[in-house]
Chains A and B, each alone.
Chain A
Amino acid sequence: AQSVTQLDSHVSVSEGTPVLLRCNYSSSYSPSLFWYVQHPNKGLQLLLKYTSAATLVKGINGFEAEFKKSETSFHLTKPSAHMSDAAEYFCVVSEVGTYKYIFGTGTRLKVLA
């Protein structure tokens, strides 16, 4: 069975410092992994996706994530936080050929001035 765990429910960083949002997954087969961002009162926007190509995935707005099969992790990083990055972030896992997208519980990122 698939599952995804976001290890931190809240993360606070200062503007200009690095961001690390942690995600571990469990999947029986080759997973596809996604990170989405949700700003208040908005829908979800795709940041990046991993679908068995390069293990280091670059996304929009300077975010990137590295797929580590040995650690079953897919952590999201950004070298320098911006105030506009403050939002809720969701890690999502899916398996090829299924309809299911399993969402993590979300990490709320706060960026301090």
Chain B
Amino acid sequence: EADIYQTPRYLVIGTGKKITLECSQTMGHDKMYWYQQDPGMELHLIHYSYGVNSTEKGDLSSESTVSRIRTEHFPLTLESARPSHTSQYLCASSEGRVYEQYFGPGTRLTVT
């Protein structure tokens, strides 16, 4: 049973607000990822981390930032939310060279 948590599950917020999406895993995995997924579409990698104090941008340009101060925690922050940020955000973790990713339930963000 994978233990990876995301909060909030749903968020409706006005333009210009700062938001932080939380992601935590209790499996001790070294790698963590953030994906953006529009309804009915594929996942696009926006950030990833190999371990503590290691973060990189993914293939999809994003105005968000991430931090990895603790192994289990990988929050994503939007300094100023815009309607174009409306999407589902999925957090995942993995261990080892290439092993399966474990996904959280996602945060569905709506910016009005």
Task: Give chain A's interface residues, CB within 8 Å of chain B.
Answer: 32, 34, 36, 41-46, 49, 51, 88, 90, 94-101, 103-106, 108
- The proximity string for B residues 71-107 relative to A, scoring 1 for CB distances below 8 Å and 0 otherwise, is 0000000000000000000101000011111111110
Most buried by B among A32, A44, A100: A44
Of the A-B pairs whose beta carbons lie under 8 Å apart in the complex, a sample of 13, sorted by A's number, is: A43-B4, A43-B6, A43-B90, A44-B92, A88-B40, A90-B43, A97-B97, A97-B98, A99-B31, A99-B50, A100-B45, A101-B33, A104-B42
Chain A's closest residue to B35 (CB) is A103
Task: Known A42-B106, A43-B105, A45-B103; judge A105-B41 contact (CB<8 A).
Answer: yes
CA distance A100 to B105 in the complex (A): 21
A94 neighbours in B (Cβ, 8 Å): 98
Contact A43 B104 (CB under 8 A): yes
> A88 — which chain B residues lie within 8 A by C-beta?
40
List 3 A-B pairs, minimum CB-CB distance, nearest first: A43-B103, A44-B103, A103-B43
A46: chain B residues at CB < 8 Å are 100-102
How far apart are the CA atoms of A82 and B48 in the complex, in Å? 36
In the bound complex, what is the Cα–Cα distance between A34 and B102 (angstroms)? 12
Contact with A along B10-49 (1 / 0, CB 8 A): 0000000000000000000001010000001111010010
Residue B108, interface by CB 8 Å: yes
In the complex, are the beta carbons of B100 and A49 less than 8 A apart? yes
**Neighbouring A residues of B97 by C-beta, 8 Å:** 96-97
Cα–Cα, bound, A101→B43 (Å):
10
Residues in B with CB closer than 8 Å to A105 are: 41-42
Contact A99 B90 (CB under 8 A): no
Most chain A beta-carbon contacts within 10 A, residue among B4, B48, B97: B97
Residues of B within 8 A of A36 (CB): 103
Q: Shortest Cβ distance from A59 into chain B, in angstroms?
A: 11
Give Cα A104 to B104, complex, Å: 19
B43 to chain A, nearest CB (A): 5
Provided the pairs A43-B90, A43-B106 are in contact, do residues A96 and B42 lie with their beta carbons within 8 angstroms? Answer: no
